[in-house]
Amino acid sequence: MKILGSFPKTRLRRLRKSNWIRNLVSENNISNNDLVLPIFVRDGRNKVESIKTMPGVKRYSIDKLSIILSKVKKYKIPMIALFPYTSENKKNKIGSEALNENNLICKSLKFIKKNFPEIGVMCDVALDPYTSHGHDGIIVGDEIDNDETIKVLTKQALLQARMGCDVIAPSDMMDGRIGAIRKELDKNNYKNVSILSYAVKYASDFYGPFRDAVGSKRNLTKDKKSYQMDSRNSTELFREVGLDIKEGADMVMVKPGMFYLDIINKIKNNFKVPVLAYQVSGEYSLIKQGVEKKLLKEDAIIESIISFKRAGACAIVTYFALEVAKKIRSIN
Ligand code: PBG
């Protein structure tokens, strides 16, 4: 592109001179509508428990979910993402708790849909919170078997839809699962339940704190590189996203977020579907600790969130959702 203008006639600092003009020419802004808050649920009663690896984030028993959901409602955050902390005695090799109608996710869905019907709920489709080995799928021999896993995932998705889930979010990275899930949902007349595919999900060390939060870390013996993407690559995103859209995904997710802004941008420029970014647990914990130790100012949080919008994301899944929503409200 030809550079327009020249110094001294052109002075780019004119448009940065004061707050009002910076606001006037700003290209990206963050609103409460751009946020999705992940919430961890656990069993028991009267439990609100801190998570060592994620300062400020808590696990709630269902009877205490209102504490956080009333804030989500107050700050008008459109959607939450539910994750279960399943007790060890309910885990097994095939993750059968995922299909239990009374598991934590099902019970939470019923509670939320009854008491907070205005909040959208998204649920992960993957087996890792339920398997004794911490993997997202079924192990056959020494591999995570793609097709056997899909058989369970379609059932898990259908159960979530039956319990009132609005957005089914397969985060397992099996090939072909979007098509199978869409077919199962349609067959059972859940044609209006959406699918947000974690289409571009990298094998990442930045998931570490999350695995602690859902209790899958201890169990995980091998990494997830045989199904999650290789962080050295970007070309395969065209096939990952292209196939998922063909199979029926309504929206796609990029995960992790901050170190993958190039990926978000490529999807935005090449596909006409909503792209969401997941600012994952490791990204959250790094920034949060930086702020707590006063190495960073709180504004660093907003800066990190804006970067996703600039890259092309329409929304951001972030453990900072409530803090950000509060902050924006006090600015406006
Ligand atoms: C499970 C899942 C993971 C995350 C969301 N869903 C972890 C993983 O794939 O190991 C990570 C979220 C985060 O780190 O905040 N499939």
Cα of 14 from ligand 1 centre, angstroms: 44
Determine the distance separating the centroid of ligand 1 and the alpha carbon of 211, expressed in angstroms. Answer: 7
- In the predicted model, is pLDDT for residue 291 greater than 90? yes
Closest CA to 47 of 63, 71, 69, 70: 63
pLDDT for the residue 302: 97
Could you tell me the pLDDT band of residue 332, with boundaries at 50, 70 and 90?
low
Q: What is the mean pLDDT of residues 176-185?
A: 98
Cα–Cα dist 266/269, whole Å: 5
Q: Where are the domains of the chain?
A: 30-331
Residue bearing the CA closest to ligand 1, atom 16: 171
- Closest C-alpha to 236, from 207, 268, 199, 265: 199
Span 17-61, pLDDT tens digits: 999 999 999 999 999 999 999 999 999 999 999 999 999 999 999
User: Predicted confidence band at 329 (pLDDT cuts at 50, 70, 90)?
Assistant: confident
Confidence of residue 165 (pLDDT cuts 50, 70, 90): very high
Residues 6 or more apart from 329 whose CB is under 8 A from it? Answer: 32, 75
Residue with the smallest CA separation from ligand 1 atom 14 is 207
Measured distance CA(271)–CA(195) in Å, rounded: 16
* Residue 114 appears among annotated catalytic residues: no
DSSP letters along 169-185, please? EE-S--TTHHHHHHHHH
- Pair 123, 117: CB distance under 8 Å: no
Q: Which residue has the higher pLDDT, 134 or 331?
A: 134
Residue partners of 226: CB distance under 8 A and separation at least 6: 143, 144
Closest-CA residue to 214 (of 106, 321, 107, 57): 57
Region of residue 137 (phi > 0: left; psi between -120 and 50: alpha; otherwise: beta): beta
Alpha-carbon gap, residue 7 to 13, rounded angstroms: 11
- The model's pTM is 0.96
Q: Confirm if 319 and 54 have CB atoms less than 8 A apart.
A: yes
Q: Provide the mean pLDDT of the chain.
A: 96
**Which amino acid, one-letter code, is at 46?**
N
Q: List the residue whose alpha carbon is closest to atom 10 of ligand 1.
A: 207
207, 222, 304, 319: which to mutate for ligand 1, most atoms within 8 A of CB? Answer: 207
When pLDDT is cut at 50, 70 and 90, the band that residue 3 belongs to is: confident
pLDDT at 310 over 70: yes
**124 backbone dihedrals φ, ψ, rounded to 5°:** -70, 135
Given this model, what pLDDT does residue 219 score?
Answer: 80
Which amino acids bring their CB within 6 angstroms of ligand 1? Answer: 124, 126, 128, 136, 171-172, 207, 210-211, 224, 280-281
Among 107, 201, 224, 266, the active-site one is 201
- At 32, which amino acid appears? N
Nearest CA to ligand 1 atom 8: 207
Of 91, 224, 255, 266, the active-site residue reads 255
d(CA 25, ligand 1 centre) in Å: 37
**pLDDT class for 5, splitting at 50, 70, 90?**
confident
Q: How many residues does the chain have?
A: 332
Residue 216 C-alpha to ligand 1 middle, in angstroms?
10
The Cα–Cα gap between 275 and 220 comes to 29
Question: CA–CA separation, 31 vs 275, rounded Å?
Answer: 16
Q: What is the pLDDT of residue 275?
A: 98
Whole-number Å distance between alpha carbons of 54 and 308? 21
CATH for 30-331 is 3.20.20.70
Structure tokens at 28: 């990206």
Dihedral angle over CA of 136, 207, 84, 140, nearest 10: 10
Grade residue 331 by pLDDT with cuts at 50, 70 and 90: low
Output the CA 28–ligand 1 centroid distance in Å.
Answer: 28
| Nearest residue to 277 via CA among 266, 288, 261, 291 | 261
Q: Which residues of 41-60 are buried (b: 16+ CB within 10 A; e: fewer)?
A: bbbeeebeeebebbebbbbb
Q: Whose CA is nearest to atom 7 of ligand 1?
A: 207
Q: Supply φ then ψ for residue 170, to 5 degrees.
A: -65, 120
What is the mean predicted confidence (pLDDT) over 131-142? 95
Closest by Cα among 137, 255, 266 to 196: 255
Counting atoms of ligand 1 from 1, which one is nearest the CA of 126? 16
Q: What is the pLDDT of residues 70-128, one digit of tens each?
A: 999 999 999 999 999 999 999 999 999 999 999 999 999 999 999 999 999 999 999 99
Catalytic, 2? Answer no
The residue contributing the CA closest to ligand 1 atom 2 is 171
